[in-house]
Amino acid sequence: MYRAIYTKVNAGVQTNAMMLRSALPSFAPTVQAKFDFEPLTDDMCKGCLKMNEGTQDKPWKLWAAEVEKSPLYSNRG
């Protein structure tokens, strides 16, 4: 679930960054900036995976606690 939420958030951030990049030449034609896409290295990907695996349970436990406290939740199992 958290990946779906943050995928949406990150897509919005990327969209805004791309709009700002496309507007840059008209506002500051003398600014020389590098905007080439640079993919993550293998080490960066490994670090991201380690961080994601170590933190993904935290939001789930919080969300589960919120649902259990909600009067709309009923566990009849």
Token digits for 52? Answer: 């994601």
Contact 8, 65 (CB under 8 A): no
**pTM reported for the whole predicted model:** 0.39
- Phi, psi angles (nearest 5°) of residue 40: -65, 145
Spell out the per-residue pLDDT of the chain, length 77, in tens: 767 888 898 899 988 888 887 777 665 556 566 666 788 899 999 998 888 887 777 777 888 888 888 888 777 76
Contact 24, 31 (CB under 8 A): yes
Q: What is the signed CA dihedral for 49, 51, 52, 57, rounded to 10 degrees?
A: 140
